[in-house]
Structure 1
Amino acid sequence: MDPNWCLLPPELLQSIAEKVTSLADYIRFRAVCHPWRSASSPRPRHLPIQLPWLMLPFKFHGNDDTTRLFYDLSASKIHSLDLPELRGAEICGSSHGWFVLHKGQVTSLFNPITRDTISLPPYTVPPSDLGIAPLNVENAVIFFGDCCVNNSALCSTHNFSVLKALLTSSPMDTGCMVIVHTSSLWELAFCKIGDERWTVIQYHEMGPNKLYDICDLSCINGVLYTLNPYRFVTMYNLISPSKTELDWESDARFIYLVQGVDGDVLLIHYHGFVYADETLDSEIQHMVYKLSNDGEPMCIKVNDVSKNVFFVGGGCQAFALSSDHLQLPGAAKCVYYVSSWTEEKQDYLAWYNHKIKLGKLDNETVTDISGDLGSFQINGNWQQSLWLTPSLL
């Protein structure tokens, strides 16, 4: 008689489940039968961070299709997920396995693996503020007084965008913050899960029509770092509200702010060109700098990135994972997403081919690992690609 694996003791099943390290295998384990599912946690905390998926671009304006395509690096295949929760919403950030969605005046969190959704405070409720004045404000007392008089809540008819958003940890963790950079009067704001109102970190000194001057942001140990096109980093202490600026002499359009696996603040400088025939792939360069806070803040070029493996590109996004849990061929230290112009079709719009490549930071050796992922447009009607670290938390 064949053994009945469903009758294994629950404590043994739990022990086996806690030794599974692949998210896909863990989901399969829980799908075997009811006893196996009951013995394993739906929110396992033992799983290591998984290799990211890349959500491919899709047209979201005037498109009711809810199917989204994700390239899985670990399986080297594309997953097709039906996600009706994304209909009509723009994805303005991806952190810790969650998307930050914005539709109209509503911002929410969505986990595409568990399908969980978390509502965030409405923008029509007057916010709190940290009391950090914008750069060009001479009298902070008058400035914040005007904000109170004018009721800094956003009007229900005011259309605005969330330009970029991030989470400081999984929303399942106590103290998780959601930080947004918007095109509204609230230049930077944050909330914690369960808050009834947003807290404004900094208002636009010239109102919502001011040019948006932040191209990347990252929050590390209670300090928000922002990078703007005028080549300086601004550090906002969210615990003891204050602001510090650091000049940065480089072309900031190609710089990403990243939290290193050891908690360092890293900046990735990327420049180069990729043509349709890929003849210039070898000229793409990634340079890494570390923000040092010893005495006067300064940037120091890093030659050894230690255990950091960088994932670059896709929605102007970059992050680092530890090489302890990754198996990338050829000791690669950079996985990056590139697009190259292909042709103008009958609609007279430019279309681009998309690929994922591996790179070494020491000699910039480049390897194509995904092949051609298809042709897409890059404009305001298309959602840019985004990296997603799939998670059950």
Structure 2
Amino acid sequence: MSMNSDWAGLPSELVDLILQRLASVSDYFRFGATCTAWHDVVTENINYLLSQKHPMLIVPLNTQDVWSLYSIKDNKLLPLPFQVPYVDRFVGSSNGWLVTVDDDLVVRLLNPLCLVLGKQIDHDPNIHITLPPLDPPCCVFNQIRKVILSANPTSSPDDYMIMAIFSADHHVAYIKPNRDKEWTYVNHNWGVLHDLIYYRDRYYAIDYKGEIIYFNVADRSFFKYLSINHNVDLENFEMKYLVESPIGELLLVERIKMWHWHGDVGYNNTEGAKVWNLKLASEGWEWREVKNIGDYALFVGDNNSLSVVASDFCGCQSNCIYFIDDYENLLFPSMVLENSYALKNTKDVGVYNMETRSFTSYDIAKDDVWLADTTKLRIVPSSVVYKPV
């Protein structure tokens, strides 16, 4: 075959057939990065691409501030490096975008599938969006807990909202970038908020007691509680996460952790987990325990949570919960190369099996791809794929 073959000039029908035979989302990324013509074909098939979503990790490469995607399905690092300014810290991953904040509390949205190593971050809204700084009087930088987008800024540039949990008391702030010039801060008397999710056109938060607070995006109304039937003790669990199931149910994942000390070094390890389903009963809303999640796999952590049908992805364990260490987002990515203590906090990463009720940790020394750093975010492919250069 001639080395000068015009691959970019293949008939679109043939390119479509090739695209249909690709086995994984990572193959789509590489396919779209080959040339402009193939990138356009992938873009036209974006709905199918999104239907194949699966969790990924953000991991650092050997070069400082250079990151890449790690495919759990393919069990390998993807050749898609991107660069994030060293002053930024990851505080979330939502709708396929990474959320970072810098020393001045300026919040940025970055599309990792459009960031190319060596390319300057510009003002292209498909790649990089800068928001006003978070500037509440009580906020401490390393206490910005979570940032969630209501929609993808690329597909809904005029109609998306961003909500953040911040400060020691876990207050709430929100902004609609297309019309707001600053964040709106919500002072509340709720308990400490553990998690935040955008679910069925509303934001839902959960506090340490298992109480649900919901926020109506349409009229920006707040302070509404869903009355929870407390027939179970939810307060003994250290962390709570909200995640939407593959069939659209709202699940609560509880993670119980205990401290273990080895000399002067402490490890906060996962000892167990439970899953609850939010149901509307005759007396109101209540949590119903789920003993078995079947063919689902849940991926939870304080930066983002999601669920998949495990059988759709080779290597993904069914009836299991994948946990990422909650201490990771308190650390700067640039600290990790110099500060060994940052690495010690990644001990609590692994998989909890719902059937055996056992937790299997990942060993940093044996698997430096999964656990190459303390800052990992699961992402879902956004509607803008990796562009050819």
TM-score by length of structure 1 reads: 0.69
> How has the CA–CA distance of structure 1 residues 198 and 5 changed in structure 2, closer, same or farther, with 3 Å as cutoff?
same
- 20, 30, 44: which one aligns with 1:28: 30
AA aligned opposite 2:97:
W
Cα distance in 2 for partners of 1:348, 1:331 equals 34
Q: 1:307 to 1:120 in 2, by over 3 A?
A: farther
Structure 1 contact 102–108 (Cα < 8 Å) conserved: yes
Query: Structure 1 residues 200 and 253 mapped into 2: Cα distance closer, same or farther (>3 Å)?
Result: farther
The amino acid that maps onto 2:250 is V
Alignment correspondent of 2:200: 221
Q: Alpha-carbon deviations, 1:222-255, whole Å to 9, x = none?
A: 2322122344222233335250144553235221
Q: How does 1:232-381 map to 2 (within 5 A)?
A: 232-239=211-218, 241-242=221-222, 243-246=224-227, 249-250=233-234, 251-272=236-257, 284-295=271-282, 296-313=284-301, 315=302, 317-323=304-310, 325-328=312-315, 331-337=318-324, 349=341, 351-352=344-345, 354=347, 357-366=350-359, 372-373=366-367
1:173 aligns with 2:172: no
8 Å contact from structure 1 (residues 215, 228) kept in 2: yes
Q: 2:146 matched to which residue of 1?
A: 164
Counterpart selection for 2:57 from 54, 59, 70: 54
Q: Residue 387 of structure 1 corresponds to which residue in structure 2? A: 378
Percent identity of paired positions between Structure 1 and Structure 2: 19
Superposed CA RMSD: 4.4
Structure 1 residues 159 and 331, CA, compared in 2 at 3 Å: closer, same or farther?
closer
CA distance in 1: counterparts of 2:32 and 2:295, whole angstroms: 32
Letter in 2 for 1:285: G
SS at match of 1:113: coil
1:112-191 counterparts in 2 under 5 A?
112-115=112-115, 116-123=126-133, 162-174=144-156, 175-183=159-167, 187-191=171-175
Quick check: 2:310–2:318 contact (8 Å CA) kept in 1?
Answer: no
CA distance in structure 2 between the partners assigned to 1:339 and 1:179 by the alignment: 19
Shift of 1:192: 3.7
Q: Which amino acid aligns with 1:88?
A: V
- Name which structure has the greater RCO, CA cutoff 8 Å, separation 6+: 2
Residues 77, 22 of structure 1: alpha-carbon distance in 2 compared, 3 angstrom cutoff: closer
Q: 1:123·1:154 contact (CA, 8 Å) conserved in 2?
A: no
User: For residue 191 of structure 1, what is the amino acid of its counterpart?
Assistant: I
Unaligned runs of 5+ in 1: 59-63, 125-152, 206-210, 341-345
Partner of 1:139: none
Larger Rg: 1
Which has the higher mean CA deviation after the structures are superposed, 28-37 or 293-302?
28-37
Gaps in structure 2 of 5+ consecutive residues: 116-125, 263-268, 328-337, 385-389
Q: Which has the larger displacement, 245-254 or 284-293?
A: 245-254
- CA drift of 1:220 comes to 0.9
2:90 corresponds to: 91
